[in-house]
Amino acid sequence: MRSLKLDQTQTIFAWGMYDGQLKRAIALTKYQRRPEIAGVLGTLLGKAWLESKSIKLPPKITVVPIPLHVKKQRERGFNQAEVMAKSFCQITGYQLDTQALIRVKETEAMFNLKTLAARDNNIQGALQIGAKLPKHPVLLLDDIHTTGTTVKEAIKVLQQKQIEVIGVAVVAKAGKQQ
């Protein structure tokens, strides 16, 4: 478990490293359609979050999972980040908003893209604010953090509507830029 600075105001909280059994568990969740694993990972992330002494946050937080495009979510049957966020919120008591962000552009899987420029181009314009704005500061939640391209785009979209983003919680953080 580790915390990293995204910029001066946002922290990335990662439960583990994206390797070994954790990497296999996330792959099973996404590609073998095992949402129950995502639920367990969200619970573990929530417990680690509550045990962390270094996190100082406002008392009311809205957790916003990184969205999937509707086509990909239909194919997979679920959004793993949303399942993780539900379990995370059950443990932490935070409010969940699965509609604060929506993915309006179908994007290529980031692991297929080898450069930061390709990843930036892929995600640019892919996210929009949903039907209603969150009432409290936002904690973004995702399964994996590699280069940060997706969360940076999400933060940009939220901040354009003056929505405070206090950090990002992820199940796994890649050890090096990919």
| DSSP-derived secondary structure letter, 67 | P
Q: What share of the chain is helix, strand, coil (3-state, %, to 5)?
A: 40, 25, 35
pLDDT 10s digits, 149-177:
889 999 999 999 999 999 999 999 987 54
Contact yes or no for 157/126 (Cβ under 8 A) = no
Total length of the chain: 178
Pairing of strands 62-65, 95-96: parallel
pLDDT by residue for the chain (178 residues), tens only, comes to 444 444 444 588 999 999 999 999 999 998 999 999 999 999 999 999 999 876 677 779 999 999 999 998 998 899 999 999 999 999 999 999 999 999 988 776 766 666 777 777 667 887 899 988 888 999 999 999 988 888 999 999 999 999 999 999 999 998 754 3
pLDDT 10s digits, 24-43:
999 999 899 999 999 999 99
Q: Is 2-173 a domain of CATH 1.10.760? A: no
pLDDT for res 11 = 81
pLDDT for res 57 = 74
Which amino acid, residue 74?
A: R
